[in-house]
């Protein structure tokens, strides 16, 4: 009755080498030694389930200082090997609640992996960490290379050579995170997630988690699940996905040695193998349809998501809004239309094995005519001041523009409006003028994507002071200092009484403060992130 994962990881050659005699597995003490007959050999400790060696064309990719590649910090599994066919070697590592599979194919320089669970694992964050050899794979993500740095926030944000660095700054939205890698001279290691690779993970298409950390080792990550309140990056799902019956999901993680960025791959070779719960394509269904009602300027960033308590999927539409889902497990799903990262509509849809369901979806989101609007309404702060930097550096970084307090005049470049306000840093003030026809009772909408420490916007507009909104439902995470704006998109609407707005040509002064019952210092004070602000 719990979660299942099938994943892959491994090491792929820059050029597929001709197959040579040698494909097989041998046992030496506690070591299961696998030769892929493609330039790659690897070793699994059969008493722990750890990968202890990854040799590609004689280059050692695995760290040899005692740090192994493993789920989290190790699961203490017991492993055995089998050869279900002449071209496949399968290593099965089991604990009481978790099974880890390693698979090798003849002539394929990759370690394919799958993870199956029947209960919430005691390891907490369910993640595979490839702890690689920094000497042979020195080139990771520069923004997450913390080796030699000094911690400036918690034990996970560092200052190195005048720049802030953190493993969090390697994260990308899941929808765009199928391939990630590190490299060296003649070798590169990649994690590759195939089509349904995140189906039993949590968080949705725009959730992000760690991909890389450069420390004494070169670490490459695949996060299957981050528990809420434990999560390294904000997770908007309160509970982990659970399964009524054990089934298996592909979340491929592939380390490969490729001269260029590899593509995702077909996982059908797992069908028929002695692995628990694999659902082949024939046992899945699809959804196809047309999305409408989205703003045309975002037509290349429209996506559809499907989720229920067991699984999640997503796909980008074409520029006209047409879509076809990945092959999904049978069930009833909530289907959501997203414009960039903003949910425009949702509805229920059922998927049956072997079937294709047509389900069109139209936006139900309100886009009224506005007097003025600051920023695109797209579920992100993109375009605002510092939004182009926040994913890869701390707000305190010297490369950031001054956070304020900022005074902004409607009509200025949006790039001068701050993407976030912090209680201890200061508010943002907006100046604007109106014509005689634009007065009367109006509505001010403030759209946010994330908040920290219960922050929410309170306004003053000329002589009017708005009420303090209710505490928002947001993840309990530092959020913006960890390189993300993803939380729950919230719309705050303030009714502006008639007589408040000036229409005689004089300046209206609107101030937005981050208010909270909590407090804090600097960028760890209560804060909120803007998506858009509009007066209508």
Structure tokens at 377: 């309404």
CATH of the domain at 121: 2.70.98.10
Instruction: Report if residue 367 sits inside a domain.
Output: no
Domain count within the chain: 3
Among 216, 247, 279, where does a domain finish?
279
Q: What is the DSSP letter of 278?
A: B
Buried residues in 239-264 as b, exposed as e (16+ CB within 10 A)? ebbebeeebbbbbbbbbbbbeeebee
What pairs with residue 143 in β-bridges?
Answer: none
Q: Profile the chain (536 residues) by mean pLDDT over runs of 10 residues.
A: 35 34 92 94 96 92 95 94 96 92 90 83 80 96 98 96 97 91 88 82 88 96 59 36 26 40 78 87 96 96 95 96 97 98 98 98 96 98 98 98 97 98 97 97 98 97 98 90 95 98 98 96 97 98
User: Within this chain, do residues 151 and 205 fall inside the same structural domain, yes or no?
Assistant: yes
Among 297, 332, 362, where does a domain finish?
362
pLDDT at site 487: 93
User: Within this chain, do residues 211 and 288 fall inside the same structural domain, yes or no?
Assistant: no
Domain coverage including residue 22: 6-279
User: Within this chain, do residues 269 and 385 fall inside the same structural domain, yes or no?
Assistant: no
User: Within this chain, do residues 489 and 527 fall inside the same structural domain, yes or no?
Assistant: yes
Instruction: Report if residue 1 sits inside a domain.
Output: no
Q: Nearest 5°: phi and psi at 482?
A: -105, 15
3-state secondary structure of 111: strand
- Whether residue 405 is preceded by a cis peptide bond, meaning omega within 30 degrees of 0, is yes
Closest-CA residue to 97 (of 243, 205, 198): 243
User: Within this chain, do residues 389 and 443 fall inside the same structural domain, yes or no?
Assistant: yes
User: Within this chain, do residues 437 and 357 fall inside the same structural domain, yes or no?
Assistant: no
pLDDT at site 115: 85
316 contacts 301 by C-beta, under 8 angstroms: yes
Pairing between strand 420-422 and 456-461? unpaired
pLDDT at site 260: 61
Task: Tell me how far apart the 2 most distant CA atoms of the chain are, in Å.
Answer: 87
User: Within this chain, do residues 344 and 389 fall inside the same structural domain, yes or no?
Assistant: no
Residues 6+ apart with CB under 8 A from 246: 2, 4, 116, 118, 276, 277
CATH of the domain at 321: 2.60.40.1120
User: Within this chain, do residues 265 and 308 fall inside the same structural domain, yes or no?
Assistant: no
CATH of the domain at 413: 2.60.120.260
User: Within this chain, do residues 310 and 212 fall inside the same structural domain, yes or no?
Assistant: no
Instruction: Report if residue 453 sits inside a domain.
Output: yes
pLDDT at site 226: 57
Instruction: Report if residue 19 sits inside a domain.
Output: yes
Cα→Cα distances 277→3, 128, 157, 534, Å: 11, 20, 39, 49
User: Within this chain, do residues 172 and 298 fall inside the same structural domain, yes or no?
Assistant: no
Residue 472 CB coordination number (10 Å): 18
Among 279, 308, 338, where does a domain finish?
279
Instruction: Quote the pTM value.
Output: 0.90
User: Within this chain, do residues 508 and 466 fall inside the same structural domain, yes or no?
Assistant: yes
pLDDT at site 122: 74
Instruction: Report if residue 501 sits inside a domain.
Output: yes
User: Within this chain, do residues 511 and 483 fall inside the same structural domain, yes or no?
Assistant: yes
Instruction: Report if residue 167 sits inside a domain.
Output: yes
Instruction: Report if residue 55 sits inside a domain.
Output: yes
């Amino acid at each position: 009755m719990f979660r299942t994962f099938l994943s892959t990881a491994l090491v792929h050659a820059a050029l597929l080498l001709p197959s040579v005699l040698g494909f097989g597995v041998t046992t030496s003490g506690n070591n299961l030694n696998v030769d892929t007959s493609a330039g790659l050999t690897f070793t699994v400790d059969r008493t722990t389930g750890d990968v202890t060696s990854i040799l590609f064309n004689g280059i050692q990719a695995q760290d040899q200082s005692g740090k192994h590649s493993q789920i989290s910090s190790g699961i203490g599994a017991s492993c055995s090997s089998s050869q279900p066919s002449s071209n496949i070697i399968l290593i099965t590592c089991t604990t009481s609640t978790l099974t880890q599979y390693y698979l090798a194919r003849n002539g394929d320089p990759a370690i394919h992996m799958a993870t199956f669970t029947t209960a919430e694992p005691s390891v907490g964050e369910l993640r595979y960490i490839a702890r690689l050899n920094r000497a042979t794979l020195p080139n990771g993500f520069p923004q997450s290379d913390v080796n030699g740095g000094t911690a400036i926030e918690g034990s996970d944000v560092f200052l190195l050579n005048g720049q802030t660095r953190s493993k969090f700054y390697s994260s990308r939205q899941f929808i765009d995170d199928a391939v990630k890698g590190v490299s060296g001279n003649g070798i590169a290691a990649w994690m590759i997630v195939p089509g349904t690779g995140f189906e039993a993970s949590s968080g949705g298409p725009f959730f992000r988690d760690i991909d890389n950390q450069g420390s004494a080792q070169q670490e490459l990550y695949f996060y299957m699940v981050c528990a809420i309140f434990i999560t390294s990056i904000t997770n908007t799902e309160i509970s982990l996905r659970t399964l009524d019956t054990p089934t298996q999901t592909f979340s491929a993680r592939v380390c490969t040695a490729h001269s260029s960025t590899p593509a995702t791959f077909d996982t059908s070779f797992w069908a028929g193998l002695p692995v628990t719960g694999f659902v082949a394509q024939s046992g899945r269904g699809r959804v196809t349809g047309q999305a409408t009602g989205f703003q045309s300027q975002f037509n290349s960033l429209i996506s559809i998501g499907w989720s229920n308590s067991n699984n999640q999927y997503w796909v980008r539409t074409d520029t006209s809004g047409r879509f076809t889902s990945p092959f999904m497990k049978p069930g009833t799903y909530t289907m959501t239309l997203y414009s960039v990262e903003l949910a425009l509509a949702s509805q229920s849809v059922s998927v049956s094995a072997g079937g294709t369901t047509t389900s069109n979806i139209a936006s139900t989101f309100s886009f009224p005519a506005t007097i003025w609007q600051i920023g695109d309404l797209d579920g992100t702060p993109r375009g605002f001041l510092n939004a182009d930097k926040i994913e890869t550096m701390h707000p305190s970084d010297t490369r950031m523009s001054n956070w304020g307090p900022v005074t902004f005049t409607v009509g200025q470049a949006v790039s001068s409006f701050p993407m976030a306000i912090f209680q201890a840093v200061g508010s943002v003030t907006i100046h604007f003028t109106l014509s005689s026809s634009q007065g009367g009772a109006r509505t001010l909408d403030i759209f946010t994507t994330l908040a920290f420490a219960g922050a929410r916007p309170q306004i003053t507009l000329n002589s009017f002071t708005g009420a303090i909104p209710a505490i928002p439902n947001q993840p309990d995470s530092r959020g913006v200092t960890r390189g993300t704006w993803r939380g729950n998109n919230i719309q705050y609407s303030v009714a502006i009484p008639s007589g408040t707005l000036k229409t005689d040509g004089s300046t209206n002064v609107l101030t937005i403060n981050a208010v909270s019952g909590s407090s804090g210092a600097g960028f760890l004070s209560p804060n909120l992130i803007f998506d858009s602000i509009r007066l209508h």
